[in-house]
Structure 1
């Protein structure tokens, strides 16, 4: 059961008596000095009229919470650039004789995702039972252990075991951290704060590319050991700081800690005013939509992901993002150096390009973050994925032309064009997908299903990450540049599926999305709320669609 079965009501003072809400106003009861408008989200309309001070002490605490969550994502991004770079380091190859492509490299790379496939079954119940902060804390500890194991490796078996532990820990982080950040964010900041979380990929990949660029000149095993040691730095910071953060108010309410949840909303969403209109509306929505006896209270119960049409549509969005976010050609990023080598760049330039690619991709992702509170999810996924297909086709075509040229008559501009197309692919992919990979799934999931839904998302991400990382080296060795064309066709299919199935979530509070997913066909749902804007800034809800 939910906390309350009360109908949604006006948030003006006269519609709340001793905390009890009454029925919404009828339109004919609205006085002439109020402006009646139709809006997508009553909560966001109220939040806009009663904005937060972005430089207040409480806002700074929220920024710090966002930063700690961001660090959880850094661990994952660090691994991507790290393994791309150390895979071509001479001392690493001498130690493990792994090769730069083929099945052995595929195993070393992909065992990370096997760890990621294993831990979600623990991560979801852990995050539901002990809180979002506990999930981040445990995941960070596991990553630090994995970093110690892999950095001290003297055998291939130990190195592989370390990568398994790293993947295990990162998957716990990617279950807990995005759930946490979206649940603590004020409604008007939700998109940017949750989208910024996944930019932690670049917060890890750029330092990793820079560190390996510097250490690749060291004439010893420290050339690859030092970058592996630094992999635990973001997680060490998480371990030290996470318990100083406030817990998610939605988790608190779901676990019957109502006073703490209300105190959070008052402090961080209501400028310290317990009667603030945003606090009143959010509290009402929380009470109506968050169950205290939901499936999150039972570690083995995943029924919230499939028990009715609403749940199944939500789960479908999570699955689509899990698959498409990993299998749109971005998996080639682990093997950037092989692509650069194929079009004629020497070893040093491969390191430089690896760093430059991380920086330009980050710029694309940050542009997506800046627009995430206003940008249509559907449109950016449809057109962004289609653009990715076009750029991969250009990259594949120019790579094919380069490969067919005689070694002594290669036109450097052709190779440069192939690399440029790949750079632009990563920019567009980062703009379209990087902000939404964390934001979209947690938006679509209900509070009582969020941790287990993100655990399911982690399984899908790890599964397709495994395919990328295990099959990628083998495919690059056997069919070389032709591997790119597989993703050209697949991205076109993805664009079509996004057009047909994607549900729009921008411009609504998490609780208001219940109306969207309850509609007959959620991708076409356009429910509206009619509100009256008062001269004093208060907002009265006249009608909930």
Structure 2
């Protein structure tokens, strides 16, 4: 597709006019000699992205006009996406953006490491004789309570999380949660009885939700549009970093012949939170939060610094800023305050339903059996030695780390709904095979069936990580509009923690009571997940956050308003640029 060129430079200020081929009646938006222009007739481009214009051969143009960038042609896509596609410079070659991402790793990414550390640590503690003796060898409902009280604490924080995040901002909500978790980890490490241990774990769980909700939102709102999906997928992948650290530390403390074999890993659970509290001042606030608080100049400066490397002439931050402002205006027109806004319209109710069920699916797909009760499962299939049990735990977490980061870098490139369907189908096949092999081992004492059970436990990890780990927070940020995003992610956390609490409580009872038959519960539930996802999960792939604010609403009207606002902002920006260039030329003469 190409365009012919007529009068490449018309002396109206420094504006140029280009005429498309007669068969291509496109709106035009031109970049010429590294300067952005709008068409003389005031029309604006469709948001397809920029195409390179070269000589057509039919009309010989001046050499200085042989390469031009123009919007037009093809299937429409968002304006911001068009600008981003034209940016060929990778993030690691942009100093400001590179530094931002490097600081986001310890400040935001490590949040999920705390949860990963907790799961693998509690799994490993069950293999430590000193922990067993100190708490009178807990099993059944008591063991379930010790594990589930972390999620109970998370549920207790739900009403306050969006209030704190929207009031003090994303950064300080993370810090608040981190401080609470540091206190909880210290109390856990110095517990003298089972009641104190439970209270400490409730305290830990209360703090994690503040950090997770704010961290997920901050990554989605601060990241460059090109890397936003990748950042969201990496957020959940860092769960495996904490899980491997927790399993490895417990394995090493197995050699300590005292209560410090379990006290030390309990205290070290505070390490990720301590890192977040220290690095807070290196991270800027969310530009969307700044705009919502009428701090618009700060928001634009932040976008220019990190998304345009300080280049105020770059159209990307101006387009982003315009979309953020307009999206917030549209969202706030019919907005109700409080938790009722999650149920105020059919669109919001569907978001609430999808987010809530996603939270349940993430915790009730059989993963809790592996992450929290691997030791009892290994005992059931004949592995009684504590050292062997912990070796299996460390090996599985190391395998999980590799799988998490690999899939987190791949799956965000594909449509969300398709990945969730693939994930659940794979989980169903894996879990069914696991159930069959464990049943055969326990009935016949077959060594081969025991090995097959271990194989399917390891195979479960990549199946789960296809979507439930790699895409969950990417999908949540895309699913919810800004004004309800923290409430939406908090609702997800509520349902997730409630499912986790229920599962942690009933899993040891089920394993003890009906053994391998208990696995059939998850096989049946996975069938339900497939049906639910197929009929109710919307597709969010390939749109900006602002466009996704109208995922279920009247998208045509809202989308036109967003595009109009973005084009207007770009028009103001172009006119300012033209005036500055004319003034500069006058001074030069």
Instruction: Give the TM-score taking structure 1 as reference length.
Output: 0.87
* Corresponding residue of 1:379: 418
CA apart distance, 1:218:
1.1
* Corresponding residue of 1:167: 205
Equivalent residues, number: 505
After TM superposition, the structure 1 = structure 2 runs for residues 394-433 of structure 1, keeping only pairs within 5 Å, are 394-405=433-444, 410-433=445-468
* Corresponding residue of 2:355: 318
* Corresponding residue of 1:535: none
* Corresponding residue of 1:484: 519
1:133 matched to 2:168: no
Q: Partner of 2:409: helix, strand, or coil?
A: helix
Q: Partner of 2:197: helix, strand, or coil?
A: helix
Pairing partner for 2:270 from 212, 232, 254:
232
Instruction: Determine if contact 1:98/1:104 at 8 Å carries over to the other structure.
Output: no
Q: In 2, distance between residues paired with 1:165 and 1:354?
A: 26
* Deviation string, structure 1 residues 180-225 (Cα, Å, up to 9, x no partner): 1111011110111111011121111000011111111211001101
CA apart distance, 1:118:
0.7
Q: In 1, distance between residues paired with 2:156 and 2:358?
A: 20
* Corresponding residue of 1:468: 503
Q: In 1, distance between residues paired with 2:162 and 2:236?
A: 19
Q: In 2, distance between residues paired with 1:449 and 1:23?
A: 34
CA apart distance, 1:11:
6.9
Pairing partner for 1:307 from 318, 324, 344:
344
Query: For structure 2, which runs of at least 5 residues remain unmatched after alignment?
Result: 1-26, 31-35, 54-69, 564-573, 575-589
* Corresponding residue of 2:56: none
Instruction: Determine if contact 1:391/1:421 at 8 Å carries over to the other structure.
Output: yes
Q: Partner of 2:552: helix, strand, or coil?
A: helix
Comparing 52-61 with 182-191, greater Cα deviation is found at: 52-61
CA apart distance, 1:436:
1.8
* Corresponding residue of 1:144: 182
Q: In 2, distance between residues paired with 1:135 and 1:268?
A: 22
Q: Partner of 2:549: helix, strand, or coil?
A: helix
Q: Partner of 1:274: helix, strand, or coil?
A: coil
1:124 matched to 2:156: no
Instruction: Determine if contact 1:326/1:465 at 8 Å carries over to the other structure.
Output: yes
Q: In 2, distance between residues paired with 1:503 and 1:116?
A: 27
- Structure 1 residues 304 and 188 mapped into 2: Cα distance closer, same or farther (>3 Å)? farther
Instruction: Determine if contact 1:255/1:292 at 8 Å carries over to the other structure.
Output: no
Comparing 390-399 with 365-374, greater Cα deviation is found at: 365-374
- Structure 1 residues 505 and 213 mapped into 2: Cα distance closer, same or farther (>3 Å)? same
Q: In 2, distance between residues paired with 1:231 and 1:178?
A: 20
1:43 matched to 2:87: no
Q: In 2, distance between residues paired with 1:507 and 1:335?
A: 39
* Corresponding residue of 1:537: none
* Corresponding residue of 2:472: 437
Larger radius of gyration: 2
Q: Partner of 1:38: helix, strand, or coil?
A: coil
Instruction: Determine if contact 2:103/2:282 at 8 Å carries over to the other structure.
Output: no
Q: In 1, distance between residues paired with 2:132 and 2:117?
A: 20
Query: For structure 1, which runs of at least 5 residues remain unmatched after alignment?
Result: 1-8, 530-539, 541-545
1:206 matched to 2:244: yes
Q: In 2, distance between residues paired with 1:393 and 1:270?
A: 50
Instruction: Determine if contact 1:188/1:373 at 8 Å carries over to the other structure.
Output: no
- Structure 1 residues 32 and 243 mapped into 2: Cα distance closer, same or farther (>3 Å)? closer
CA apart distance, 1:294:
4.3
Q: Partner of 2:73: helix, strand, or coil?
A: strand
CA apart distance, 1:265:
0.8
Pairing partner for 2:484 from 449, 456, 464:
449
